[in-house]
C-alpha cells in the first residue's frame, strides 16, 4: 500500500496493541419481515482481544457476525476492519478467518488438505505450505492426524481442523459462529479452553457468537449481550456479571429471581413489603421497577436468628430441592410474596440436603445483593 | 415385536419380488445358452455358439458400436448440463427456481412417443436426421431429469456454508466451484452419468423414430431382427445388455457406494 493515509497506517495491525481492529457504527439490518434483525449496533474492538456476542436465538447475533464477515450487507451503518470498510473487497480477498456453525469442512479432502486449502488459494509459496500445515496441526494438537479424512475424525477433532483452517493464513480477524453448539458439555468446555489458549498464543483478534453464557464468561475479554436485535450491554465478563445494566442481562447470565414493584429510597416495595436493594440508575419514587437477586446471593436458614446480618428477610416453604453436585438448589415460595418463587444456591457440602420439600425456612439478602432496574415491558 | 405370521408374509413378499424381477433375466440368459436353433426355455442342451454367432454378426457389431457412440454423446451433453443445472437449482437462490425446475423436468411428463415424433420433425427440418449425434442429443434431453435429480440430491446434502467457507479461505467463485462444489457433488455426477449411459444404451422408442438403416442402434437392431425371425442369438445379445448393466452397477458401487445411489431421490 503506497497510498495509505497516515490515519490508516496508524491503525494497521502490529503497530500497537491498543489500536482498533473492528469498528461497527450504527449498523442496522432490515430483512423486511417486520422486526429489525439488528438495530443501531455500535461497538469497537481492540486488536488482539477476544469478544463474544452473547444472546438467545433470534437476538440478531449471527446476523451481526455475518455482516462483519461481509456475507450480508447492512441496511445502514458502517463496518470497518483495520480501518477499511469490510465490503471494499470481495469475500475471498478479505483477511478474515471463519469457523462455521456446522464447520463446513471440505468432506472430500483430508485434514491436512483442508488446512492447506487457504494457503493454496492465497498463493503462499508452495514449498512452505507442508511445514506450515504441520505447524498448525501441532498447534491444535492434531499432529499425525493430517492424512485422516474428515469423516474419520471425531467431533472435537473436526472442530480443531476447522480452527486450524481458519487461522493458518494468519488472518487479521477470526470469526466464530457458534462452532461449539453441537458438542457435548465435556468436549465443549475443553474446546472453550482450547480457543482461549490458541487465541492467546497467536494474539489474533476474535469475535465469537454464542448463546452459552458460560462459554462467553470463560473465553472472552469483552462480552456484548444482545436481545431483540439491540446491544443490551458491552462490558468485561466480571463487570457484566456483577453490574448488569438491565433486567434482561441480569436474567441471561447466571440464575436470578425477579420481583416487580415500585421504587422507594434504598429498595423497592412490592405490595405491602419493603425489599432492600441497590438502584441501577436514578429513579423517582414510585417508578415501576424490577429487582433481580442472584441465586448465590440469597441466604437460606432454618430460623430468623441465623439471618441477623441480612436487612431483608422473608419466610417461606421449600417447594423443590435439586442437587447439582457442586451445590444444592432450593426453590422457595415466600408467604410475603406469593406468586414469586426464589431460587437459592447453597454451596456448603456439609449441609447439603438440610431442607426437604415442605420445610419452613427463612431467606434473606442485603441491599447490595439485589439490583433494581427500570421496568421495561417486553 | 414382529409376530410369526407377519414374518411369513414379509418373506413371501420379498421372495415374490425377487422372483418376479429376476425371472425374465434368468430366462433370457438361459435361452441364450441353448444348443438348439429355436429360442426355448429351459435351454435345449448347453452351448456358447450363439455368443460366437453374435460376435461374428456384422450388423449387430455395428449397431453395438453405434449405441456406444450415442451413449457417449448423450453423456457429453448431459454431464455438464445436468451437473450445472443440478447445482444451480439447489445451491443458488435463483429467481423463478421453481419454474426452471419444472421446465427442466418437463421431459418426464411428455410421453416418449410424443417427444420422439417432435424431435423427428425438428431434426428433419434441420436436415440432420441420418446422423448419429442427434440421437445422442435427443437421449440426453429426454433423460436429463435423472442426472439433475441425482446431482441436486448430492448438492442438497452438502453443508450450506461450504461456498462461504471456501470464500473465507480465499477461493474465488471459479476456484470454489472447481475445488469445493464440484468434488462435493461428484457422487451424484457419477451416479447420474452411469444412469444416463445405461439409459442411452437401452433406449428404444425415441431411437426407433430417429434412426434409419445407416444409423440403427442396438436396441432398434434387435427389434428389427425380432420382426423377421426370432433366434437364440437375440437372447445372447440381451444377455450382453444385462452384463453391461451389471457392470455399471458394480462400477457405481466401487466409485460412490450403492447406498448413496439408493438414497438419491
Tens of pLDDT, residues A81-112: 988 898 888 888 889 999 998 889 998 899 99
- Tell whether A116 is covered by a domain: no
Grid-cell match 492447506, residue found: A116
Ranges of residues in chain B with a pLDDT under 70 are 1, 257-265
Residue A140 placed within a domain: no
Q: Locate the chain A residue with the closest alpha carbon to B178.
A: A121
A361 and A283 assigned to the same domain:
yes
State the residue range of the domain holding A317: 255-374
Q: Do A296 and A234 fall within a single domain?
A: no
Beta-carbon separation of B162 and A93 below 8 A: no
Regarding whether A281 and A189 lie in a shared domain, the answer is no
Kindly report the average pLDDT of chain A as a whole number.
87
| pLDDT digits 0-9 by tens, B20-38 | 999 988 888 888 888 888 8
Last residue of a domain, one of A197, A213, A242: A242
Phi/psi at A288 (nearest 5 deg)?
Answer: -70, 125
Distance CA A372, CA A266 (A): 10
Mean pLDDT of the A29-58 span: 90
Which residues of B lie closer than 8 Å to A, measured between beta carbons?
158-162, 164-172, 175-176, 179-180, 183-184, 186
- Give the pLDDT confidence score for residue A167 in this predicted structure: 92
Condensed to tens digits (0 to 9), the pLDDT of residues A347-375 reads 887 777 788 899 999 999 999 999 999 88
- pLDDT value at A122 more than 80: yes
Statement to judge: residues A369 and A287 lie in one domain? yes
Half-sphere exposure of residue B185: CA atoms within 13 angstroms, side-chain side:
33
Q: What is the DSSP string of B127-176?
A: T-BTBSHHHHHHHHHHHHHHHHHHHHHHHHTS-TTHHHHHHHTT--HHHH
Same domain, A218 and A283: no
Q: What is the pLDDT of residue B130?
A: 84
Q: Shortest Cα distance from A159 to chain B (angstroms)? A: 14
Helix (H, G, I), strand (E, B) or coil at A81: strand
Q: What is the pLDDT of residue A89?
A: 83
The answer on A179 and A32 residing in a single domain is: yes
- Report yes or no on A111 lying in a domain: no
* Stretch A222-247: mean pLDDT: 92
- A213 and A290 co-located in one domain: no
pLDDT higher than threshold 50 for residue A137: yes
- Taking the CA of residue A133 and the nearest CA in chain B, the distance in Å comes to 14
CB contact under 8 Å between A117 and B179, yes or no, is yes
- Same domain for A195 and A227, yes or no, is yes
Shortest alpha-carbon distance between residue B73 and chain A (Å): 29
The 3-state DSSP class for residue A196 equals helix
Asked if the structure places residue A102 within a domain, the reply is: no
| Bigger pLDDT: A224 vs A12 | A224
Please indicate, yes or no, whether residues A276 and A361 belong to a single structural domain of this protein.
yes
CA distance A29 to A26: 10
Q: Measure CB to CB from residue B170 to each of A100, A108, A122 and give the nearest one.
A: A122
Residues A231 and A286 placed together within one structural domain of the fold: no
Counted domains in chain A: 2
Long-range contacts of B255-264 (CB under 8 A, 24+ apart): B255/B187, B255/B190, B256/B186, B256/B187, B256/B190, B256/B191, B257/B187, B260/B154, B260/B187, B260/B191, B261/B191, B263/B153, B264/B149, B264/B150, B264/B153, B264/B154, B264/B188, B264/B191
Query: Does A125 fall in a domain?
Result: no
Q: What is the pLDDT of residue B52?
A: 87
Same domain, A228 and A264: no
* pLDDT for A194: 85
pLDDT at res. A354? 80
- Has residue A297 been placed in a domain? yes
Give the tens place of pLDDT for each residue, A262-285.
999 988 998 888 999 999 888 888
pLDDT at residue A11, as a whole number: 39
Question: What pLDDT score does A3 carry?
Answer: 43
β-partners of residue A278 are A371
> What's residue A347's pLDDT?
84
Residues of chain A with pLDDT > 90, as a percent, come to: 51
Asked whether residue A32 is domain-assigned, the answer is yes
Q: Report the pLDDT value the prediction gives residue A175, as an integer from 0 to 100.
A: 94
The distance of B206 to chain A (nearest Cα, Å) reads: 39
Which string of DSSP letters, residue by residue, matches B32-52?
HT-SSSS--SS-SS---HHHH
Of B168, B180, B186, the CB nearest to A106: B180
* pLDDT attached to residue A377: 65
Q: Do B168 and A103 touch (CB under 8 A)?
A: no
Q: Are residues A285 and A369 in the same domain?
A: yes
Domain presence at residue A296: yes
> What CATH number does the domain containing A64 carry?
3.40.50.300
pLDDT, residue A343, reads: 92
Last residue of a domain, one of A215, A242, A269: A242
Question: Which of A242, A266, A299 is the last residue in one of the domains?
Answer: A242
CB pairs under 8 A between A and B: 70
Per-residue pLDDT tens over the stretch A282-295: 888 888 999 999 99
Would you state the pLDDT for residue B225? 84
The confidence score (pLDDT) of residue B262 equals 55
For B180, name the nearest residue in chain A, comparing CA atoms only.
A106
| CATH code for the domain in which residue A299 is found | 2.40.50.100
Amino acid at each position: 500500500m503506497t497510498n495509505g493515509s497516515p490515519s490508516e497506517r496508524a491503525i494497521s495491525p502490529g503497530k500497537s496493541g491498543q489500536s482498533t481492529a473492528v469498528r461497527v457504527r450504527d449498523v442496522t439490518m432490515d430483512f423486511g419481515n417486520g422486526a429489525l434483525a439488528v438495530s443501531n449496533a455500535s461497538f469497537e474492538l481492540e486488536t488482539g482481544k477476544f469478544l463474544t456476542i452473547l444472546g438467545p436465538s433470534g437476538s440478531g447475533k449471527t446476523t451481526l457476525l455475518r455482516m462483519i464477515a461481509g456475507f450480508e450487507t447492512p441496511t445502514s451503518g458502517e463496518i470497518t476492519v483495520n480501518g477499511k470498510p469490510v465490503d471494499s473487497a470481495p469475500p475471498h480477498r478479505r483477511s478474515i478467518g471463519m469457523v462455521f456453525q456446522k464447520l463446513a469442512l471440505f468432506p472430500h479432502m483430508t485434514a491436512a488438505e483442508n488446512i492447506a486449502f487457504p494457503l493454496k488459494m492465497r498463493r503462499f509459496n508452495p514449498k512452505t505450505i507442508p511445514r506450515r500445515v504441520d505447524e498448525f496441526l501441532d498447534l491444535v494438537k492434531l499432529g499425525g492426524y493430517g492424512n485422516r479424512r474428515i469423516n474419520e475424525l471425531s467431533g472435537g477433532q473436526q472442530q480443531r481442523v476447522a480452527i486450524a483452517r481458519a487461522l493458518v493464513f494468519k488472518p487479521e480477524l477470526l470469526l466464530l459462529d457458534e462452532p461449539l453448539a453441537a458438542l457435548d458439555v465435556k468436549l465443549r468446555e475443553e474446546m472453550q479452553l482450547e480457543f482461549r489458549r490458541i487465541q492467546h498464543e497467536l494474539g489474533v483478534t476474535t469475535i465469537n457468537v454464542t448463546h452459552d453464557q458460560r462459554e462467553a464468561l470463560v473465553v472472552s475479554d469483552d462480552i456484548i449481550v444482545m436481545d431483540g436485535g439491540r446491544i443490551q450491554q458491552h462490558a468485561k465478563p466480571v463487570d457484566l456479571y456483577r453490574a448488569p445494566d438491565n433486567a434482561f442481562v441480569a436474567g441471561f447470565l447466571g440464575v436470578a429471581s425477579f420481583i416487580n414493584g415500585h421504587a422507594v429510597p434504598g429498595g423497592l416495595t412490592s405490595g405491602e413489603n419493603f425489599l432492600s436493594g441497590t438502584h441501577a440508575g436514578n429513579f423517582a419514587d414510585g417508578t415501576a421497577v424490577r429487582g433481580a437477586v442472584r441465586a448465590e446471593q440469597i441466604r437460606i436458614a432454618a430460623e430468623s436468628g441465623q439471618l441477623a446480618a441480612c436487612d431483608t428477610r422473608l419466610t417461606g416453604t421449600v417447594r423443590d430441592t435439586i442437587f447439582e453436585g457442586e451445590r444444592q438448589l432450593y426453590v422457595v415460595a415466600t408467604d410475603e410474596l406469593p406468586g414469586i418463587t426464589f431460587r437459592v444456591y447453597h454451596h456448603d457440602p456439609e449441609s447439603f440436603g438440610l431442607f426437604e420439600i415442605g420445610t419452613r425456612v427463612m431467606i434473606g439478602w442485603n441491599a447490595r445483593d439485589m439490583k433494581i432496574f427500570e421496568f421495561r415491558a417486553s | 415385536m414382529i409376530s410369526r405370521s407377519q414374518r411369513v408374509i414379509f418373506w413371501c413378499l420379498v421372495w415374490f419380488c425377487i422372483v418376479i424381477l429376476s425371472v425374465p433375466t434368468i430366462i433370457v440368459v438361459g435361452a441364450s445358452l441353448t444348443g438348439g436353433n429355436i429360442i426355448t426355455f429351459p435351454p435345449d442342451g448347453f452351448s456358447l455358439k450363439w455368443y460366437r454367432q453374435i460376435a461374428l454378426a456384422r450388423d449387430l457389431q455395428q449397431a453395438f458400436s453405434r449405441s456406444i457412440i450415442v451413449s457417449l454423446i448423450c453423456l457429453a451433453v448431459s454431464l455438464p448440463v445436468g451437473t450445472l443445472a443440478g447445482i444451480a437449482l439447489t445451491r443458488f437462490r435463483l429467481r423463478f427456481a421453481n419454474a426452471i425446475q419444472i421446465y427442466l423436468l418437463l421431459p418426464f411428463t411428455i410421453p416418449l412417443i410424443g417427444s420422439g415424433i417432435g424431435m423427428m420433425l425438428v431434426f428433419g427440418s434441420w436436415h440432420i436426421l441420418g446422423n448419429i449425434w442427434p440421437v445422442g442429443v435427443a437421449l440426453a434431453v429426454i433423460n436429463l431429469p435423472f442426472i439433475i435429480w441425482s446431482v441436486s440430491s448430492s448438492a442438497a446434502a452438502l453443508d450450506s456454508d461450504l461456498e462461504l467457507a471456501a470464500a473465507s479461505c480465499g477461493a474465488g467463485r471459479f476456484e470454489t466451484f472447481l475445488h469445493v462444489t464440484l468434488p462435493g457433488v461428484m457422487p451424484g455426477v457419477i451416479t447420474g452419468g452411469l444412469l444416463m449411459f445405461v439409459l442411452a444404451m437401452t433406449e428404444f422408442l425415441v431411437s426407433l423414430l430417429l434412426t434409419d438403416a445407416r444409423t440403427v442402434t442396438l436396441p432398434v437392431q434387435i427389434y428389427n431382427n425380432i420382426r423377421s425371425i426370432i433366434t437364440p442369438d437375440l437372447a445372447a445379445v440381451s444377455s450382453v445388455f444385462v452384463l453391461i448393466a451389471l457392470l455399471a452397477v458394480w462400477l457405481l458401487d466401487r466409485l460412490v457406494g450403492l447406498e448413496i445411489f439408493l438414497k438419491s431421490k
